[in-house]
């Protein structure tokens, strides 16, 4: 028989959350294994190696009594899965986060960290450093929320699974896809502790409950012109000039899609992330080829790769007066993955019910449900048939430079998670 979470049990769980412990762990984890753990989305740039931070996290789980396994899809890139068996007759819950971070290329611009993005530095309520918001500090919050549950002495009915993955920044092929499809790990529910926080004022702030995710893909548009000598540009067709006409059209274009109850922060749209044109050693000549690399984001359920390519093709054809296959080509970037948008987890189902209840106890009110505009492992677990959502204290804005996370939001999130975990799994008498 499952016991309710009494006020005494809730008070015990909350009291086990220690702000200073989280700050210390965050500062330590931001530095571990970096910069090797940085992992760009670019398909043509090598992936990171997350082994150092993975083994550190594995040790933390083992010290809490978890049975820990390391699953390698590639050398030096172990996925960490810890299982704390329940007493039986309860559902299973996965707490998830990832072990890689996105790169910090312009390190000299990180003035909040004295030019070192892996030197986590506190300024007031904010801790700055690569991986604070996405997602070393969220990972630390997840570990300490789990630790609070373990140290409270509560006997959980269901199995608690902590799954920390590699390769998330490259859409999870060697991480969450490998874990679900090759290893076959599946739970009833999953909470990915990644950025859903908003607001920077003293009063106006909170955390969304991301019940769905938008999809994305990478598309190449190659424009073909006619090369000419720079003394006679009128005799050619400059491909870079063509690109200058195409780019505004792409920025303004709309994609065919079916509206959703949770539309995401941005509508389906495309942004240019690279422009490549002109050859080294040929400044005497105008370029006859220019490639635009596009990120298509905000994708909603039902949008397909063929439909996206058709929409972009129509826009490029109109902007250039050209014909696909003759004057330009549009195709998916080689080595990239097509990620579909997911259907929302109903608010009246777990884990949403317990997160909403715990949120009300700690912060009052309700977390605002939304569609997370970015990729995270929630998508892969949702694809595997799990009721998977995202909830965490990181800033849902992905700062390229001076990334940061709020101390007060992180403490609140840990308390909410510590209350939600036993509520979802059930507590034995």
CATH number of the domain encompassing residue 263? 3.30.70.360
Give the span between the Cα atoms of 393 and 410, in whole angstroms: 5
Return the CA Rg of the chain.
Answer: 23
What per-residue confidence (pLDDT) applies to 200? 73
- Give yes or no for residue 1 having a pLDDT over 60: no
328 and 424 belong to one structural domain:
no
Closest CA to 378 of 83, 206, 180: 180
Instruction: Provide the β-strand partners of residue 162.
Output: 82, 95
- Note the pLDDT of residue 398: 84
- The span from the CA of 9 to the CA of 192, in Å, is 24
Residues 6 or more apart whose CB falls under 8 angstroms from that of 186 comprise 180, 384, 385, 386
Distance CA 126, CA 120 (A): 10
Name the residue range of residue 173's domain.
2-213+341-428
Contacts of residue 305, Cβ cutoff 8 Å, sequence gap at least 6: 217, 332, 338
Whole-angstrom Cα distance, residue 283 to residue 23? Answer: 53
Are 84 and 100 within one domain? Answer: yes
Q: Specify the CATH number for the domain of residue 63.
A: 3.40.630.10
Number of residues in the chain: 429
Q: What is the pLDDT of residues 131-150, one digit of tens each?
A: 999 999 999 999 999 999 99
How do residues 223-255 score in pLDDT, each as one tens digit? 999 999 999 999 999 999 999 999 999 999 999
Tell me whether strands 197-198 and 215-224 are parallel, antiparallel or unpaired: unpaired
Query: Are 63 and 118 in a shared domain?
Result: yes
Q: Is the peptide bond before 259 cis (omega within 30 degrees of 0)?
A: no
Round to whole Å and give the CA distance between 68 and 88: 19
Q: Is 2 exposed, middle or buried (0-12, 13-18, 19+ CB in 10 A)?
A: middle
Based on the domain organization, do 264 and 178 belong to the same domain? no
The whole-number pLDDT of residue 397 equals 82
The β-bridge relationship of strands 209-213 and 121-123 is: unpaired
pLDDT recorded at residue 92: 98
Instruction: Judge whether residue 3 has pLDDT over 70.
Output: no
Is the domain of 62 the same as that of 129? yes
- Mean pLDDT for the stretch of residues 24-37: 97
Residues 370 and 282 in one domain: no
pLDDT score of 396: 87
* pLDDT score at 2: 58
Q: How many domains does the chain have?
A: 2
12 and 110 part of one domain: yes
Indicate if 272 and 292 belong to the same structural domain. yes
Longest dimension (CA), the chain: 87
Which of 278, 312, 332 lies at the terminal end of a domain, its last residue? 332
Asked whether residue 192 falls in the same domain as residue 55, the answer is: yes
Q: What value does the mean pLDDT of the chain take?
A: 96
pLDDT of the residue at 29: 98
Q: Look at residues 332, 360, 381 and tell me which one is the last residue of a structural domain.
A: 332
In this predicted model, what pLDDT tens digit does every residue of 334-389 receive, in sequence order? 999 999 999 999 999 999 999 999 999 999 999 999 999 999 999 999 999 999 99
Quote the pLDDT of residue 346. Answer: 97
The 3-class secondary structure across the chain, one letter per residue, is CEECCCHHHHHHHHHCCCHHHHHHHHHHHHHCCCCCCECCCCCCCCCCCCHHHHHHHHHHHHHCCCEEEEEECCCCCEEEEEEECCCCCCCCEEEEEECCECCCCCHHHCHHHCCCCCCCEEECCEEECCCHHHHHHHHHHHHHHHHHHHHCCCCECCCEEEEEECCHHHCCCCCHHHHHHHHCCCCCEEEECCCCEECCCCCCCEECEEEEECEEEEEEEEEECECCECCCHHHCECHHHHHHHHHHHHHHCCCCCCCCCCCCCCCCEEEEEEEEECCCCCCCECCCEEEEEEEEEEECCCCCHHHHHHHHHHHHHHHHCCCECCCEEEEECCCCCCECCCCCCCCCCCCHHHHHHHHHHHHCCCCCEEEECCCCCHHHHHHCCCEEEECCCCECCCCCCCCEEEHHHHHHHHHHHHHHHHHHHCEEC
The string of pLDDT tens digits covering residues 253-268 is 999 999 998 998 899 9
Say yes or no: 203 and 249 in one domain: no
pLDDT band at 196 (very low <50, low <70, confident <90, very high): very high
Residues 177 and 280 in one domain: no
Asked which of 299, 332, 365 is the last residue of a domain, the reply is: 332
Is pLDDT above 90 for 4? no
297 plus 370 within the same structural domain? no
pTM: 0.94
Residue 188 has pLDDT above 90, yes or no: yes
d(CA 101, CA 174): 15
Helix 407-425 crosses helix 19-31 at what angle (to 10 degrees)? 100
What does the alpha-carbon distance between residue 252 and residue 311 come to, in Å, rounded to a whole number? Answer: 12
């Amino acid at each position: 028989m499952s016991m309710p979470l009494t006020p005494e049990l809730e008070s015990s769980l909350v009291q086990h959350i220690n702000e200073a412990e989280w700050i210390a762990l965050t500062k330590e984890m931001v530095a571990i294994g970096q910069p090797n753990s940085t992992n760009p989305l670019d398909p043509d740039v090598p992936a990171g190696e997350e082994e150092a931070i993975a083994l550190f996290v594995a040790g933390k789980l083992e010290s809490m009594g978890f049975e820990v396994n390391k699953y390698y899809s590639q050398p030096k890139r172990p996925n960490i899965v810890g299982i704390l068996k329940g007493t039986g007759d309860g559902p299973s819950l996965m707490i998830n986060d990832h072990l890689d971070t996105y790169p910090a290329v312009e390190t000299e611009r990180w003035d909040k960290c004295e030019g070192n993005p892996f030197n986590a530095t506190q300024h007031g309520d904010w801790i700055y450093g690569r991986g604070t918001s996405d997602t070393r500090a969220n990972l630390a919050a997840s570990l300490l929320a789990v630790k609070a549950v373990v140290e409270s002495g509560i006997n959980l009915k269901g199995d608690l699974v902590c799954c920390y993955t590699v390769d998330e920044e490259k859409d999870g092929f060697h991480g969450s896809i490998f874990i679900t499809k090759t290893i076959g790990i599946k739970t009833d529910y999953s909470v990915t502790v990644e950025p859903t926080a908003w607001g920077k004022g003293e009063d106006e702030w909170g955390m969304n409950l991301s019940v769905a995710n938008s999809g994305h893909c990478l598309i190449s548009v190659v424009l073909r012109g006619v090369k000419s000598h720079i003394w006679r540009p009128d005799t050619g067709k400059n491909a870079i000039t063509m690109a200058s006409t195409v780019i505004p059209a792409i920025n303004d274009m709309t994609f065919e899609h079916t509206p959703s109850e949770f539309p995401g922060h941005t509508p389906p749209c495309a942004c240019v992330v690279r422009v490549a044109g002109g050859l080294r050693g040929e400044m005497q000549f105008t370029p006859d080829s220019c490639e635009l690399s596009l990120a298509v984001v905000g994708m909603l359920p039902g949008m397909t790769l063929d439909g996206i390519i058709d929409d972009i093709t129509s826009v490029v054809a109109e902007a250039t007066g050209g014909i696909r296959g003759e004057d330009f080509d549009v195709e998916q970037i080689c080595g990239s993955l097509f990620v579909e948008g997911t259907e929302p987890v109903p608010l009246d189902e777990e884990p949403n019910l317990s997160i909403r209840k715990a949120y009300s106890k700690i912060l009052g009110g309700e977390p605002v449900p939304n569609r997370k505009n970015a990729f995270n492992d929630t998508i892969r677990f949702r694809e595997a048939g799990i009721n998977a959502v995202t909830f965490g204290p990181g800033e849902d804005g992905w700062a390229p430079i001076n990334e940061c996370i709020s101390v007060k939001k992180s403490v609140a999130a840990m308390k909410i998670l510590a209350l939600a975990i036993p509520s979802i799994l059930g507590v034995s008498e």
